[in-house]
Amino acid sequence: IVDRESLTPSVACGDRSVASEGGMTYEMGYWNIRGLAAPLRMMSAYAGVPIKEQQYDLEAQEGGGWAAPTWFASAKPALQEKNAMINLPYVVDEASGLVITQSTACYTYLGRKFGLMGSTDEQTARVEQTLAQAFDLRNDLMKVVYPFTGVTPETYPAEAAKHLSKTANGHFSKFEGFLCDQYSAGAAPTAGDFHLWEMLDQHVMMAAALSLPSPLESFPKLAALHKALRELPQLQEYFEGPNYKLPCNNKMANFK
């Protein structure tokens, strides 16, 4: 993490112009799950730009509940001094000292740095729309996989099946009609495709765990995107490594 005192005065006081034009170096922080960090990890792998990663763990509390002292007590206070909005995920641009939080802001920031936001206004707009729709899908998924809306381990199978057949299908229909080529903004993946892919993959995994057919069977364009990105040579080290094998969701989730 960048030491504020080591930054130039213009950076420390809010002028976030890049302090160095050298090699790109970034740090990312998130829970030790796939979750919202998976698109960032895939973008990094695809661009060939390594990201140092801080992973934070939830610990079960005696008597119930969860705590995350390595995040809330140890790491968050110092980062909060640099960005009052700090949350997980975050990205630190070590060249400038800039601390970015909020998942979509992290995706678009690294998307710009890695050249994954499209090269025309139309392409950039398509990337942004894909990110927004993927996040809508993700939020609907969270209502099922986490217990916060009253879904229990006993009711989860039925709720998940309903989500797959109705709610997710609505999102998938939009994406199927929106795709203009192999990916959402053209023939090559852009930032939005990595978030979309993660959502597709989690839904395929959820269906398989419930012995249900793949939700992509009725959506050939989405199935082709899911297959094509999974087979990209740049991503094979990621898919074979430990981060892809992390749980999709955190410890209290009905589907991990």
Domain edge (last residue) among 71, 95, 114: 114
d(CA 118, CA 103): 19
Are residues 107 and 25 part of one domain? yes
Same domain, 82 and 170: no
> For each of the chain's 256 residues, which pLDDT tens digit applies?
323 233 222 233 333 333 333 478 999 999 999 999 999 999 999 999 999 999 999 999 988 899 999 999 999 999 999 999 999 999 999 999 999 999 999 999 999 999 999 999 999 999 999 999 999 999 999 999 999 999 999 999 999 999 999 999 999 999 999 998 999 999 999 999 999 999 999 999 999 999 999 999 999 999 999 999 999 999 999 999 999 999 999 999 999 9
Q: Is 223 helix (H, G, I), strand (E, B) or coil?
A: helix
* pTM of the entire predicted model: 0.90
**Whether 12 and 35 share a structural domain:** yes
Q: Encoding tokens for residue 164?
A: 């797959």
3-class state of residue 104 by DSSP: helix
Beta bridge partners of 91: 28, 100
10-60 pLDDT, tens digit each: 233 333 333 333 478 999 999 999 999 999 999 999 999 999 999 999 999
Q: How many alpha carbons fall within 13 Å on the CB side of residue 218?
A: 12
Domain count, the chain: 2
104 located within any domain: yes
Q: Give a yes or no: residue 256 inside a domain.
A: no
> Is there a domain that residue 246 lies in?
no
Q: Judge if 136 and 48 occupy the same domain.
A: no
Q: Are residues 147 and 208 in the same domain?
A: yes
Structural domain of 144: 121-233
Whether residue 110 is found in the same domain as residue 155: no
